[in-house]
Structures are given as C-alpha cells and as structure tokens.
Structure 1
Amino acid sequence: MTGLRQNRISFSEKVIWITGASSGIGEALAIRLSALGARLILTSRNAEALVEVKARCAGTVAVLPADLSTGEFSVPQSGGTDFAGNDHSSQTGHPGPASGSPPTKNSFSGLAEQAIDIYGRVDILINNAGIGQRASAEETSEAVLRQILGLDFFAPALLTQALLPHFRANGGQVVVTGSMAGLMGVPRRTAYSAAKHALMGYFESLQVEHTVPGFHVTIISPGRVKTSLSLNALRGSGEPHGKMDAAQEKGIPVEVCAMKMISAIARKRKHVIIAREERLLWYLRKWAPPLYHRVARKFGS
C-alpha cells in the first residue's frame, strides 16, 4: 500500500527547505522529493556534501550552507558562488563584491529571509538537522550538553519562529524530525533525549496554539534508522563516537524512513512514529513502567 500511495503523491512546484540535507534522512528526503517535483533548498554546514546531494537530485535545487548550531551564519553576497552552487563571478551584468570581501552575517531571521529570496517563498520547512550522543549524564560536559540542545532543539525552534510571519501570510507546513528518544528516556542519550523531548513539547504546543489558516505542523518520531547518526554522535568530551552501532546498522533503511515521512507530510499528519522494537518499548513505558525501566537500561548500547 505504501508504494501505491507514493505513486499518487506529488509536490510539483512546492518549495521545500530541508536542513541536515547533506546525509542520512535529509539526503534521502531531498532525492525523493526532487523526483516528486519539489523545488528544494538544502542546508547543512557541509557545503561540498550539499553540492554532491544536489547532483543526485532531479529538478531545481539550491544549496544554502549554514551551521545551525551557532545561530550566526555566513551568507554569500551577490557574485561569486550563488545558493545553487554555481559560479557567477565571471558573468557580465551580475555585479559582486570586491575580491576577498567577506560574506555577510545573519541570524535565524536573516537566514530565513535568504531562503525565501531564493524562490520567492518557502512552502514546507523540514527541520531535520541534528546530532546524537553516546555518553552518560555524568560523562557529558556542559559544552556538549549546550551543543546538542543548540542544534537539536534551539535551531529548529528558532528557524520555525523566524518563518512564522511568512507562513501566516502564505500558509505552509513545518516538519520536524524528532525521535523515539523524545517520547521516552534512553540511556547514554540524556542530552539528546532532553532536546528531542523539548522538540516534541514545542511543536505539539505550536500545533494547538496557532490560528494560522493553511498552516500545518508535522512531527516525525523515528526509531533507529540506518544512517551515520552513531558515527557522528558526540562523546562526553565532544569527540565523535566514530563507530557504527550494531543496532543502528540493523535500523530501518533510510529510504524506507524517507518514504514514510513523505507520506506523512503529504497527508499533513500531526504525529507519526516510524519504528520497530522501539515502539514496543514505548508501549512498555505506558503500560508496564517497572518492566520498561529494566529493559530500557539495556537499550542504549
């Protein structure tokens, strides 16, 4: 049935902005959504990887590199390299800054304005950027705690807030990639789980708070998906975990997760869980808390 539904889905001419688009779920979403007719804006801190993802996409794709964990972004001026990754510095009639001029700096609101300027609007924002954790609470430094909360919670909240006036005027949709760790506690994920719980609270509250006609909020809570999340996850000191967890290796294929997310986005679902055994653990938390606590202690490896 999923395949049949996918064949009926179209995002023709929809402008979709995807953060965390250089790998994993974000990359899979970009490739699939571009094939469904969307015009894309791809954001992550890795500009070179974004250009590679763009090359694998169909249709119109622009890249807008930004490190969302900092809240301050380097935005290219006219001339030089544009948001689509094309070099215009030698084109006539396209004035640019003097050689060596630094890019301008922008806040989340400035970054949102730059994204809107690319196509004249943003129809759907997919807040997908994030970073994982592999450390106990005691091992995790304050800097790492703040870094994870900065990227996994504050960035999507503030970017969404920056776009709300645009959505109020035009309608649209915000999608956020949460986690099953945002619905229950998971060991060695204290900062990550805290950020995802906050994300769930913020966007669920936004769902019931807003009175914007034609505006929708979709929350996705994946379980383990076969991506590089564990490779890039932070240890307590801030060093990358640097290895693929066995459970992550056996996770849901990223393409399957992306297709289920796209179906939820098209149907404007409020909350969708995409998980295997994590769903069972969630049920245990609700109906058998003592058993949940015993099982969950072994679940964060």
Structure 2
Amino acid sequence: MNTQRRAVVLGATGGIGSAVALELATDHELWLVGRDEDRLRDCAARIVGSHLWRLDLESDDVSLVPSELGEVDVLILAAGWWRPGRVTELSPADLRQSFAVNAIGPVQLLTALLPRFRAPYARVIALSSTAVHASPRERAAYVAAKVALESLLQAVHEEEGSRGTQITIVRPGRVSTAMHAAVRRAERADDRPPVLEPADFAAVVRTLIELPSAVHVPEVVVRPALVVDSLEGVRS
C-alpha cells in the first residue's frame, strides 16, 4: 500500500509554488494545479510521478475535484495575481480577477478538498502578503483580496478545526519571482532591497508541515534577513 503523503499545490507554475513543489517532491505524491497547461507540463517534467490538474480560478468549476485524487495531507494555496493602479484606475474586471485568483478561488478549492483531508491533521499553507499591513496605495486590488483571503481562511479554521484542519497563513516579504519583478517596475525605485529566493521560502513551508500534529501556527511572517554592508552598516 502506498503510504506516501499527498500534497496539492495551487499555483504550481509560479516562482514560489514551483519551489514548494520541488521541496515536497522528495516525500510527497504531488498534484500540480494551475491555469497554463504548458507551464504545468514543464513543472511536472522536473517531478517524476506528479499529476496535473489544470484549473482556471476565474472560469472553471473549482468544486469538480478529479476522481482519482485520494486523501490529501497537504494543501498549498500559492496562486496570486497582482496589478498596480489607483482605485480610480481599476476596472470592475480588474477587481473581479484579483478576488477570484487571490481569495475566492483558493478558498473554494479548500472547501472542495475538505472531505478528502486525511485524519488526524491535514496542513493548509496559504500565501498572503506583508502588504496587508502596509499602505494599499496603488495596489488596492491585490491587498484587498489578500485581506479577504485571510478573513475567509480564519473563518474556515474556526468552523472546521474540529475536523483536524490546520490552516497557516504565511505572509512573505519580497521574494525573487516574476511578480516581484513586476512590483519593482511599478515602484520605479532605484534601491535594491534584499529578497528571499523561492527555495528559501519553500524551506519555511517544509518546516511548517513537519510540525507535530498538536501544534498549530496560525500565521507566519517571512522576510529576508538583514544584510550587512561593510561600508553602510546594516540595512533591511
């Protein structure tokens, strides 16, 4: 009988999602979830035995779980969509897309998989952002959706915790991904703040899912370490 743990990674084609998938590949049967089938196949080519689940959070029925997916031990919610702009510049379509990808879709996937979570304690790791506690100026669509995600996940944890559902919200700071590069272009800043590599963030996820089942960590903030510059001292 196959006793290998099973992990579902939403956003598996992104920088963080793919790094987490690679981290978990050593001891998990992986289901890679994303919208772009070609990128999913590229990701799967690096992970022997992984399964593909093409899912568009904006248009597909998230409740239609593949029949061959068995019990789930780990769910990673790493999908993300970001677009800069003042509130007056955002269209209704922009807001709908942000909430669909950053909040509503991930929570719908979680609720669809709840009956498949393996007892006694399945782990859910959901990516939010340190931006939820910073100014939403010119990034309101993203920040508002992440705030909604956190509220919905907190409610699910309180409502379903007796089933053994452990949900951890992780707020990463700057991580070297395509999304971060887009953010930096929008900021038009000349400084070079320290960033985490996706593999570093994946190591944090590994630590969280390996915690004893009696331990619940509701939220975690992950930032790059301080950098020591011999001429300028310590900078963050």
TM-score by length of 2: 0.82
* Corresponding position of 2:204: 260
Output the CA distance in 2 between the equivalents of 1:248 and 1:176: 27
Contact 2:71 2:117 in 1 (8 A): no
Contact 2:171 2:220 in 1 (8 A): yes
Is 1:137 aligned to 2:87, yes or no? yes
Contact 1:19 1:44 in 2 (8 A): yes
Output the CA distance in 2 between the equivalents of 1:243 and 1:60: 40
Per the TM alignment, residue 177 of structure 1 is displaced from its structure 2 partner at its CA by 0.8
Contact 1:28 1:254 in 2 (8 A): yes
Contact 1:15 1:123 in 2 (8 A): yes
Output the CA distance in 2 between the equivalents of 1:224 and 1:254: 10
Is 1:34 aligned to 2:53, yes or no? no
* Corresponding position of 2:139: 189
Structure-2 change in CA distance of 1:179 and 1:242 (3 Å): closer
* Corresponding position of 1:7: none
Contact 1:131 1:232 in 2 (8 A): no
Output the CA distance in 2 between the equivalents of 1:262 and 1:39: 15
The CA RMSD over aligned residues, in Å, is: 2.6
Structure 2 unmatched ranges of 5 or more: 226-236
Output the CA distance in 2 between the equivalents of 1:169 and 1:14: 12
Q: 2:157 aligns with which of 194, 203, 207?
A: 207
TM-score by length of 1: 0.65
Instruction: Give the structure, 1 or 2, with the largest relative contact order (CA under 8 Å, sep 6 or more).
Output: 2
Per the TM alignment, residue 208 of structure 1 is displaced from its structure 2 partner at its CA by 2.5
Matches within 5 A, 1:212-251: 212-230=162-180, 250-251=194-195
Q: How many residues align?
A: 218
Is 1:50 aligned to 2:40, yes or no? yes
Per the TM alignment, residue 119 of structure 1 is displaced from its structure 2 partner at its CA by 4.2
* Corresponding position of 1:162: 112
* Corresponding position of 2:49: 60
Query: Which amino acid in 1 is paired with 2:41?
Result: V
Higher gyration radius (CA): 1
Over the matched positions of the two proteins, sequence identity in percent amounts to 28
Query: Which amino acid in 2 is paired with 1:61?
Result: S
Structure 1 unmatched ranges of 5 or more: 1-11, 73-106, 234-240, 278-301
Output the CA distance in 1 between the equivalents of 2:191 and 2:99: 24
Output the CA distance in 2 between the equivalents of 1:244 and 1:274: 24
Output the CA distance in 2 between the equivalents of 1:246 and 1:274: 23
